Amino acid sequence: MNETFHGVFPALLTPFDKAGTVNYDALRALIRFNLDKGVNGFYVCGSTSEAFLLTNEERKKILETVCDEVAGSAAVIAHVGCIGQDMAVDLARHAKAVGADAVSSVPPFYYGFSFAEIRDYYFALAGVGLPVFIYNFTAAGGAKLTTDHFTEFLADPRFIGVKHTSSDFFMLERLKAFRPDAVIFNGYDEMFLSGLAAGADGGIGSTYNFMAEKYLAIERAFRAGDIEAARAEQNRANNIIAALLKCGVIPGCKVLCRHIGQDLGECRRPFRRLTEEQERALIETYEENV
Ligand code: MN9
């Protein structure tokens, strides 16, 4: 198991104040709340952070805030994914300068770039000097990278691993078989236990922001060989995730954070806020499964 990169990493949500500006104090409080639970690290400015609704200046300031608050007590992975290679390299250089432990990126998207172009993008990121986690997330409309594409990256030690937001556990197992010291983080919270069974070193997720203790418990039970306990905990998490998927995961996570005392404000438009009825139903499901 990699010493720095393993276990439970919340994919941090971005708090906004009433005027819609990033609320850095609330971000610090959210980080503290999760550090106190014993999380192993944070994934910063990923999908869950509304990254593509943030400016690059905001992304930089958020990362600086996280590195400052964490102060070496947990690992920090900075998602630097952008459509443009130079923008991503700029964010990666900044991540290195402010003390992040690794960078991560979705493949450049929207224009249907060729694998040769995607390859150039990732090798430019690797050139910055921090270990790189490739973010496999094709459900968001991104490039479909195959197992062979991934092994081409993983043959180079500068690529430390993959954030695997996919239900292709065969691929996860093949990547571990190809390079046992590669770090694979499971991406779908609802499949955390399945990912562990296939060889994942941990997980990165949106719902960890408000229920990290569940994933810590699943991992503990799994490693102790108590699969029944792990499955029971995954089942409780999944009842909540199923409710979130109905109303919108990111706005829903913010509702549940507020419910437990972490007020992160609303999401940026065009995300909609939940109706009162949706909020009530979501909180009820949460309360039934804590
Ligand atoms: O990578 C998250 N994926 C996205 C992690 O944000 C796109 C997950 O935590 C999902 O939000 C979650 C719900 O499907 O599993």
The model's pLDDT over 248-268, given as tens digits with 9 standing for 90+, comes to 999 999 999 999 999 999 999
- 163 among known catalytic residues: yes
Q: What is the CATH number of the domain that holds 134?
A: 3.20.20.70
Sorted by sequence, the CB contacts under 8 Å of residue 40 that are 6+ apart come out as 6, 7, 8, 9, 74, 75, 202
Residue 136 above 90 pLDDT? yes
Domain contains 46: yes
Catalytic residue among 24, 135, 208, 215: 135
Q: Is 199 left (phi over 0), alpha (psi -120 to 50) or beta?
A: left
Ligand 1 atom closest to the CA of 165, numbered from 1: 1
Nearest CA to ligand 1 atom 1: 187
- 135 among known catalytic residues: yes
Q: Is the CB of 159 under 6 A from ligand 1?
A: no
Q: How far is the CA of 187 from the centre of ligand 1 (A)?
A: 6
pTM given for the model: 0.98
Domain contains 256: no
Residue 141 above 80 pLDDT? no
- pLDDT tens for 39-81 read 999 999 999 999 999 999 999 999 999 999 999 999 999 999 9
Nearest CA to ligand 1 atom 7: 47
Domain contains 231: no
- Counting the structural domains of the chain, the total is 1
Q: Where does residue 3 rank: exposed (0-12), middle (13-18), buried (19+ CB within 10 A)?
A: exposed
Domain contains 229: no
Domain contains 192: yes
**Residue-level pLDDT at 139:** 80
Q: How far is the CA of 17 from the centre of ligand 1 (A)?
A: 23
* Residue 267 φ then ψ, to 5°: -85, 165
Catalytic residue among 43, 121, 122, 163: 163
Print the domain residue range for 98: 7-224
